Chain A
Amino acid sequence: MRLSNVLHLGVKELRSLSRDPLLFALILFAFTVSVYTAATAMPETLHEVPIAIVDEDQSPLSGRIAGAFYPPYFQPPTLIAHSEMDPRLDAGLDTFALVIPPEFQRDLLAGRRPQLQLNVDATRVSQAFTGSGYVQAIVSGEVEEFLRRHRAGAAAPVELALRNRFNPALRQGWFGAIAEVVSNVTMIAIILAGAALIREREHGTIEHLLVMPVTPAEIMVSKIWAMGLVVFVAVAFSLTVVVEGWLGVPVAGSIGLFLLGAALHIFACTTLGIFLATVARSMPQFGLLLILTMLPMQTLSGGMTPRESMPELVQQLMLVAPTTHYIALSEAILFRGAEFSMVWPQLLALVVIGVALFLLSLGQFRKSLA
C-alpha cells in the first residue's frame, strides 16, 4: 500500500465533501442541535409525570396527599371526577390516577386500614414501574406523618443510605447527550464512507481508479481516514463545545482517552459503511440497509435501555455491534472516570470488529468489482 495514494485519494474525498454544503449543514446539525435537543428533551426517569387525583374524601388529609405531588417528579395533579378517569387514561392524558375514597381520613384515624386505589397506564412501561413505587412512597409518607401527629411512631431499625455515584442526581440529560453523540457518530460514519463508495460506483469513477496503479485497499483506507477525520473533528467539537460547554455535563475522565475510543469506533463504523456499500447494488438499497443496521444499534446497544434487561441472545448478538462497546466505554470514561486499564477490553473489541469488517469488505469489494 502506498501512503501517498492513500493521502491524495483521501484529500479528494474531503474536497468532494466540501462541495456539498447541504451535507455539511446536516453534519453540523447532527452534532449540535440534534445533540442539544436530545439531551434537553429527555426527562429524568420520573419527570413531570402526569397524575390525576379523584378526591372523593375532600378532607385535610386528602388535600395533603394531593399537595405532595409536585415537580420535577410529577406534574401538579389534575383533580378530576371519577367518571373522567377512564376516558383520560384511555386518551393517554395521565399515567397515574389515584382514587381517594370517601371517609378516607376518618377510617384511617379509626385504624380501619382504608384502601386507596392507584390506576397505572402500564403501557408506559418506563413510568409505570418506578412511578408506582414513588406514588406509594409519597402517599405512605404523608399518611405516616399525618398519623405521627396523632400518635408517636418508631423509626426503622436499619437505615439504608442510597447514594448514586457518577451522576448523583440521576440526570437523564447527561446520559441522553452522550447517547446521542454516540448514535450520530455511528450513523454519520456509516453514511459518509458507504455512500462515498457507492457514488464512485454509480458514476463509474471506481473503474477509472482501478486502471491506475491504485489498489482496492488504498481506495478503502483513503475513504476511512478522510471520512473518519471529518467525523472525528465533529465529535471532538461536539463533546467539548456542546456537551461540556453548552450543556454543562461534567466529564469525569480523560477526554483524550475518550477520543481514542471515538477514533477506534469511527474506524469500525466507516468500515461497516464500506461493507454495506459493497453489499448494496445501488444507493436506494444502501439506504434501506442503513436503516436495518442503524435501528438495532440505536435501540439495543445499551444506549436506550440497559443491556442487562435484554434477552441473553440479544445481548450476545449485540456484542458484534461496535456501538455496544463504544457506549460502555463512553459511559465508563465520561461518567465514571475510568482509565485505560479499565476500558482496554472495549478498545480491543472495537479494533477487532474494525479489522474484521475491513478484511471482510476488502474481500467483498474485490469480488464486487470482478
Chain B
Amino acid sequence: MMRPVVSARGLSLRYRDVVALDAVDLDLPGGCMVGLIGPDGVGKSSLLSLIAGARALQDGELRVLGGDMRERRHRESAVPRIAYMPQGLGKSLYPTLSVFENVDFFGRLFGHGRRERERRIAELLQATGLAPFADRPAAKLSGGMKQKLGLCCALIHDPELLILDEPTTGIDPLSRRQFWQLIGAIRAQRPGMSVLVATAYMDEAAGFDFLVAMDAGRVLATGSPRELLARTGARSLEAAFIGLRYGAGAVPVRPVEHAPRPRVDDNDIAIEAENLTKRFGDFTAVDRVNLRIPRGEIFGFLGSNGCGKTTTMKMLTGLLPATEGRVWLFGKELDPHDLETRRRVGYMSQSFSLYSELTVRENLVLHARLFQLPRAEIPARVARLAERFELTEVLDQLPGALSLGQRQRLSLAVAMLHEPEMLILDEPTSGVDPAARDAFWDILVELSRRDRVTIFVSTHFMNEAERCDRISLMHAGRVLVSGTPRELMAQRGVDSLEDAFIAYLEEAVEEAALGPVMPALAATVEPTAPRRGFDWRRMYSYARREALELRRDPIRAALALLGSVILMLVIGYGISMDVEDLRFAVLDRDQTTVSRDYVHSIAGSRYFIERPPILDDAELDRRMRAGEISLAIEIPPGFARRLARGDPVEIGAWIDGSMPMRAETVSGYVQGIHAHWLAERAALAGGSRQPTAPVEIETRFRYNPDVKSLVAMVPAMIPLLLMLIPAMLTSLSVVREKELGSIVNFYVTPGTRLEFLLGKQLPYIGLAMLNFLLLFLMAITLFGVPMTGSFLTLALAALLYVVSATGLGLLFSSFMRSQIAAIFATAILTILPAVQFSGLIDPVSSLEGLGRLIGEAYPTTHFLTIARGTFSKALGFGDLSASFVPLLLAAPVILGLAVALLRKQER
C-alpha cells in the first residue's frame, strides 16, 4: 500500500442539527480504486465533498495529497490535482454548451495552451466515444453520455485523485459497463492515479481494491473486498455489509423472489396504447409504441437513457400530448383534463420534483390534502408511510438535507399516498441503496398481488427487472422487444437479464463504441502548477463560458437591447414637465360679461381645458375631491361692479394640491394669466398708463434654451437604463449556478473569486456598451437631441458606469441564496435610487436625509451629470473630472464587496 492519499482524524460535519459525519478516522491508500459503500444518507457524499475541497471543514482534521485541507495555501495547490464529479446526472455540466465547449472550458481553466488543449480534448472524446457528438449541447445527451462527458471534464487536467460520487446511478447497464471499462483503461495508462468512488452497486464495489463501509456518519470497516468478506464470513458484499452493520449472523439479504405471475384477466386492461408517437420538431422521441397492460401486472420498462421511456410515461399520464396515437386508461380514452382519472393514478417523475422548501411531513400532508383524503386519516397515513419508507427520523427535515436515496423514497411515498389503482414510476429506485430497494419492491409486489394495482415502472436495475411480470426493452423511441424476463433471456440464449439487455442494445446501438485510450493521453507533459493569484487566462475562460451561455439564450440579449430601446422611446417622450391640458371649472357667482371675460382668458390658454361650470360650493367640493378638476375658480358676486368702482375684490383659485408638482405648475400658470388679464384691461381702458415694472429681469435658460423636457430627459434616460438592465442581467449569474448546482465547479477548480466574478462580468459589460451605443444613436437621431460636448468623455464614463452597474448585480448575486431574492434585491436597490435619488427629476443637491446620502454615493448620479454635461453643456473631460472620481472609485468598491461576499467553498 502506498502512503495514504487521504487521511482524516475526528472529522465531523453537521448541517444545522443533522450530523452527517461523526468523528471519522480514516486512511485511504493511494494509487488504487477505493470504494465508499453504505446506504443513502450515511455521509458518503459529505465525505467526498470535504475531500474535494468543495465544502468547508468544520471539526477534525483532513489531510489530502499530503497537506492540510484547512489551509488555504494547501487547498490552492491541491485542488488542481484533484478532480471531482458530484452526484446527479450532468449536474456539473453547462447544459446549453456543447460537448466540446464543456471540456474546453475546463481545459482553459487549467491553463492549457491551445494546441495542448485541443489534443487532450480530441483524445478524451475519442476515448469516451463522444467525438461524433462534439457539437451537441450537453442538455441533449443521454444520461450515460453526460457521465462520460463529466469524466472528460474531470480528466482534462491529469488529476492525481479522481473523486466520483455515484457516477453510474441512473445509467443503463450498457453505459455503465462502458463507463467502468473506460476508467479501467485510463487507470492502466496512469497507474499513479487514485480513484475514490461512492457507489450503490455492490457488484461494482466487489471489483475495487479497497472499500470503506459507512453507516450513520461513521466508518464501519475498511479493507479489501476479500478482507471484508472474510471478516464477516459472508458470501456476498451485500451480506457482508449487513453483517458489519448489525453484527455477524444477522439475516442476510433475501434472494430475489419471483412471485408467481398473477392470473390476469386479459379483458381487464389498465393501460393500452396504440401507435403512440411523439415528435419534437423533426426529432422523433417516441415512435409508434403499442402497449397492452392488464390490471394488476407489474410491467417493466427498460432502455438506455434518453430512449423515450420518460416521454412515453408522460404521455400516459397526460402531461404531454401525443403527436399521434391513442391511449386508454382503465378502458377510457385518456383525457388530460379528467381529474377523476388522475385520482386513480400515482406518478413519480425521474428527477426530484417535490417542494424543497417544505419539510418531508409538510410535503406528505400537502399531497394528502390535494388528493382529498379524509382529514382525520391524514396523520395516521403519513405516519404509516413514513415508517414504511424509513422516513420517520427525517420527517421534519427539508429535502435539501436528505440524501438522494431518501429523497427518492419521499417521492415514492408521495406517489403512493392516495392508494392509487395504477402507479407510473419513472426510475423510482435510482440512487436508493439495495436494502431499501428490496423493501420497496416488496411493497410493489404486495400492491400488485393483493390490491391488484397496476404498476408501470422503468428501471436500470436488472434484479428489479427480473421481478417484473413482463418487460419491454426500448431503444431510440422504439420498443425492441417485449416479454417475460425468462422469455427474453431464452431468446438471446444467455442466463442473465443484463447480458440479454446488452446483447439487444449492442445490436441497435447508435452510441459509438469506446475508442482506444491513446498512450499519449497518459504520457502528457507534467501539468504545470496553476498560477497563484490573478490569472488572465482563467478569467478569460470564465468570460468565454458566460458569453457562450448568453449567446445560447438570444432572447435574453434581445430583450436587453430591444427592451431598452422601447423604454427609451416610451419614457423619453413620456416624462415631461410641460404640464398642459389641465382641467378646470368655474363657480361664477357674478355672471357678467367681465367675469366671463376673465374665465375666457384662462380657458383660452393652451394650459387649461374648461369643464362644465360649477353651481354651488358643495359641487365644487365634490368635483375637486373626485379629482375631476385640478383647478376651480370662484368669482364673487358683484365682481364686475366692484371692479368698475375700483373697490378691492378677490378671485378665489382652488388648486388640487395632492400632486405637488402639478399644483405648483397650476399656480404659476394662474398667476401669470391673472396678471396678463389685468394688464390687458388696463391697456384697454387706455386712460391710465400701463404700469411697467421698475426692473427688467432677463432670464436666460442655458443649455436647453427652449426648456424642452426632451433635451433634459433623453440624456438622463441613458444612465437610468444602463443601470437597471445590466444589473438585472448579472444579478442571476452566480445565484443561478448556486440553485442549479454547477457552482461546485468553481469550488473545486483553481480559479479565484476575482477571476470568476470579473469573467462573468465581462460579457455583460460588452452587451451594456452595445446598449449604450444604441441608446446614444437613438438620442441624437430619433430624438434629435444635439451632442454638444465630447463623445469620448461620455463613452469613457459609460464604460466605467456599466462596470459599476454590472458589478452591483453580481454583488447581489454573490450573497443572495435564491433567484427570487436576487431579482427582488436588484429591482428594489436599483430602481428606487436610480429613479428617485440620482437627479433624474430633482437635483441631488436638493434631496434630504438618507436619500441625499444615497444619491451622493450612487454611480447613477455622477454618470447623469456627465451625460447631461456632454450632451447639453458642451463639456469635455477636463470640466467633468470631478464626476469621474466617484465613478472610478465605485467599480472597485462594488467588485471588492462582491468578492468578499462570495464563498469559495460551500458551508
Contacts and interface: CB of A to CB of B under 8 A. Distances in A.
Interface stretch (B11-19, B299-307, B566-574): B566-574
A282 B555 CA distance: 10
A288 B654 contact: no
B371 A212 contact: yes
Contacts of A26: 821, 824-825, 828
B596 interface: no
A277 B849 CA distance: 37
Contact of B696 (A116, A215, A282, A314): A116
Interface stretch (A133-141, A228-236, A263-271): A133-141
B358 A162 contact: no
Contacts of B837: 41
A11 B447 CA distance: 32
A306 B661 contact: yes
Interface string A205-226: 1011111111100000000000
Contacts of B650: 158-161
A127 B353 contact: no
A2 B369 CA distance: 11
A300 B575 contact: yes
A89 interface: yes
B52 to A, nearest CB: 25
B478 to A, nearest CB: 24
A158 B678 contact: yes
Contacts of A168: 657
Nearest to A139: B697
A353 B658 CA distance: 25
A203 to B, nearest CB: 7
A115 interface: yes
Interface stretch (B188-196, B245-253, B723-731): B723-731
B709 A125 contact: yes
Interface stretch (B162-170, B175-183, B344-352, B379-387): B344-352
A185 B35 CA distance: 55
Contact of A204 (B351, B556, B875): B351
A161 B843 contact: no
Contact of B626 (A126, A183, A184, A338): A338
Interface string B627-654: 1001000000000000100101111111
B846 A48 contact: yes
B346 to A, nearest CB: 8
A306 B659 CA distance: 8
A83 interface: no
A294 B832 CA distance: 11
A164 B655 contact: yes
Interface string A18-33: 0110110010011000
A162 B882 contact: no
Interface string A331-355: 1101111110011000000000000
A110 B369 CA distance: 93
Contact of A121 (B697, B703, B851): B703
Nearest to A115: B696
Contact of B367 (A23, A47, A210, A212): A212
Interface stretch (A52-60, A169-177, A237-245, A357-365): A169-177
The dominant DSSP class at the A interface is: helix
B836 interface: yes
Contacts of A117: 697-698, 700
Contacts of B827: 187, 191, 290-291, 294
Interface in B816-866: 816-821, 823-828, 831-832, 835-837, 839, 841-843, 845-852, 854-855, 865
A: contact size bracket? 35 or more
Nearest to B620: A165
A278 interface: no
Interface in A294-324: 294-296, 298-300, 302, 304-306, 308-311, 314, 317-318
B573 A314 contact: yes
Contact of B627 (A90, A124, A318, A338): A338
Contact of A295 (B370, B571, B579): B571
A165 B634 CA distance: 14
A64 interface: no
A256 interface: no
A162 B674 CA distance: 11
Given A160-B670, A163-B652, A370-B321, A208 B820 contact: no
B1 interface: no
Contacts of A334: 658
A23 B857 CA distance: 25
A127 B843 contact: yes
A288 to B, nearest CB: 5
B846 A127 contact: yes
Which among B371, B563, B662, B872 has the greatest number of chain A C-beta atoms within 10 A? B662
Interface in B689-718: 692-705, 707, 709, 711-713, 715
Contact of B725 (A19, A156, A288): A288
B582 A308 contact: yes
A147 interface: yes
B906 interface: no
Contacts of B707: 122, 125, 128-129
B133 to A, nearest CB: 24
B851 A40 contact: yes
Contacts of A210: 319
Contacts of A106: none
A4 B692 CA distance: 79
A205 to B, nearest CB: 5
B699 A306 contact: no
A286 B579 CA distance: 35
A298 B319 CA distance: 39
A143 B694 contact: yes
B71 to A, nearest CB: 31
A133 to B, nearest CB: 5
B856 to A, nearest CB: 11
A188 B674 CA distance: 46
B540 to A, nearest CB: 22
A162 B832 contact: no
A211 B875 CA distance: 65
B233 interface: no
A38 B573 CA distance: 25
Which among B567, B581, B659, B707 has the greatest number of chain A C-beta atoms within 10 A? B659
Interface in A101-154: 108, 111, 113-130, 132-133, 135-136, 139-140, 143-144, 147
B728 A287 contact: yes
A326 to B, nearest CB: 13
A284 B818 contact: no
Contacts of A211: 317-319, 342, 345, 347
Nearest to A95: B843
B668 interface: yes
A127 B702 CA distance: 13
A30 B317 CA distance: 43
A38 B841 CA distance: 13
B869 interface: yes
Nearest to A343: B626
A184 B836 CA distance: 13
A23 B828 contact: no
Contacts of A45: 660-661, 664
B627 A108 contact: no
Contacts of A281: 555
Contacts of A187: 827-828, 831
A283 B736 contact: yes
B700 A37 contact: no
19 contacts: A9-B370, A15-B362, A115-B697, A120-B701, A122-B704, A123-B873, A129-B668, A136-B699, A143-B694, A157-B646, A158-B651, A170-B664, A172-B660, A175-B659, A213-B340, A213-B343, A283-B736, A309-B580, A336-B624
**CB-based closest 8 A-B pairs:** A41-B851, A164-B657, A335-B658, A167-B657, A122-B704, A204-B353, A342-B626, A122-B701
Given A38-B851, A119-B700, 13 more contacts: A23-B821, A23-B824, A75-B845, A117-B700, A129-B668, A136-B697, A157-B648, A158-B651, A205-B355, A213-B370, A285-B553, A299-B574, A335-B657
